[in-house]
Chains A and B, each alone.
Chain A
Amino acid sequence: MSELLQYIITGLSVGMVYALIALGFALIWKSSSVANLALGQIVLISSWFTYAMLVQASLPVWLAFPLVILFALGLGWTIERFALRPLIAQPILALITVTLGIGYFIEGVVTFIWPWSVDALPRLFPRDVVHIGPAVISQEYLWVVGICLVVFVLLTLFFRYHRMGIAMRATADDQRAVQACGIPVTAVFSRSWMFACVVAAIGGILIASIGGITQGLVETGLKAFSVVILGGLDSFLGAIIAGPIIGLCESLGGGYLTPHLWPGIKDIIPFIIIIIVMVIKPYGLFGEERIERI
């Protein structure tokens, strides 16, 4: 019983982080309908940058985090300005492969600068255990859940009340109408990439603070795609609900299936979910089913 509760809480908290990274995807998809497959690598490089700030430059946390946020903003701006903007209105194949190329490039940069490829972030959250009923849980999971919730609330408020947030939603709805209203669409794209990178970076730091920085973070970014697929590509609500579901499936499946199957089943459960969703309900739980015309 305590085992079950433990699986549920770790699953939920990891799932929240997946949801956060998935939000980074949905942000870009909603405003510019570009599928960002470099998400995993963005998560990876931002966690390494955090490592560089905190450990290599040994900056205090209050200085390091603004720098990481700035780095993520710069990364997003650079990618959008130099790789995506020349490709506006290109076929989707080009848009997908360009992000793959960017991801490949970032992976090269990461091995270039941090060739030892595995390291741990310093403790960001206290690791004292908490007792919830019969379960014993490291406190950091609760911190992760808390931070994710705060970011969700901030993003929701931003999209509801801020001018830029409203402009982004409008762009997602109809690009041409937005352009006619005088909203600079390219600026909206640029902002959405910047925000997406920040959100992905926060997700990356949270995951890396628990599990350390490894090449597996790229896979974490890819797992976030299962959240987007399950929740529906263009739905924030879908991402927030699907994230914990995926996290739960992963943690429960990893906990209870491993003795019966081969080890490592945990790592591919999200991918199996992708296949299942694709066959049964390809547009996800909350996604809008596109009706095409010729």
Chain B
Amino acid sequence: MTAVDAGDLRASASRLFRRKQLAGFGLLAGVVLYLAYAAFAFDIAGLLGRARWENAVVLASDSWSYKTHVERQHRSGEIEIAIEGERRGTYPPGQAPDWIGLGDMVTVNLGHGATARLLPGNVTELEIPGYGSARLALEGRNISNDFGGVLPAWVSASDKRVMVTLPGARVTMTPARTEIFRYFFGWDLFWFTLDSPYFGHGTGEILFGPRLDPARGNIAGAAHDWWTNAVWHHKDVAWAICETILMAFLGTFGAALAALPLAFLAARNFTPVWLVRGLFRRVFDFIRGVDSLIWTIVLARAFGPGPLTGALAILVTDTGTFGKVFSEALENIDGKQVEGIRSTGANALQRARFGVLPQIVPVLASQVLYFLESNTRSATIIGAITGGGIGLLLTQAMQTQKDWEEVAYYIVLIVLMVMAMDWLSGKLRAALIGRGSGH
């Protein structure tokens, strides 16, 4: 090779390099431009202005903690202690958790060394570590305080309202009432509600301790009270999970059963008539194109809300997908096996059963199982639209915008459910492929 040749080669190589470089940077520039356009089209700036970040704080703190309210009505002097301020979480009169001392003077331990005392005469005394004591009192129709002229950063005070925010607790006094919130880690009443005799007892005590309810055994009683918990509805949640899995199961396998015979009609080697073949292929394309959202809407009108509608929506959509996938698998089978069966004088059905099915079943079953997992997720979403399963519970809990601990609970359950289905379908697929290769 001469020097001139090498020079030419280098020139052409660097031209190629430059072109590739240009193409690479052009692609990058295109992506950046598109994202800039999208940021403009989605109105990101306006969105950031409209976002309610306090909602995010509420969501984050409420999902892993709960608060207990201690409330005194100033007119009647009545004191109410309730978890999350809910009726179902209210302690009966005369009962209180151990961090509250009842009597003429109600002592509330606020945690972190702070204490609040509700004295007669609508006076509230606070002991705050690192600060000292403070006194709030209702005088006439105003609230007086002795914080002095310069308020600490954690106090906001006016004549009509004094609010003291402490780590893990909050005290608010208005002319009508005094409210104390104390925050705790965890989900309130998750195991037992207050009316259950097992509330406040540990696992060891329930398993091995003396009988807490004379009418029934501890384990059976505790299981029953947990199962019928009126705040968390464990029974309904379990049913909802079952419904969602049922939708995915019925939809996926129903679709596989419906698509299998139809796939023969859309495969080139089994249906030589192109009119029939083309017709079935277009039907599959149409079903897939209409999409599960529209099928869900149409079917919900006919069958009403519930798991059957969701199952049928998945079934119809996936019949289209499976029909396409199965017919492609059928076109790729080995024709020799079918010839062999034919030579024994078998009819079309027997040829399909002994010549075709053994070849495609492992492939198809693996596909179907793969869809089972993804359909569990779809069933959650479809359930939110048709009104069935855990998807419905999730949207309902979100729409009330207050029970974020329930939302967190459902999310954890959904993730566990999907992961379990993923694991199960993976195991079954592995077993199937192992058996298939063992032949």
Chain B binds chain A: no
Binding site for B on A (CB under 8 A): none
Q: Which residues of B contact A (CB under 8 A)?
A: none
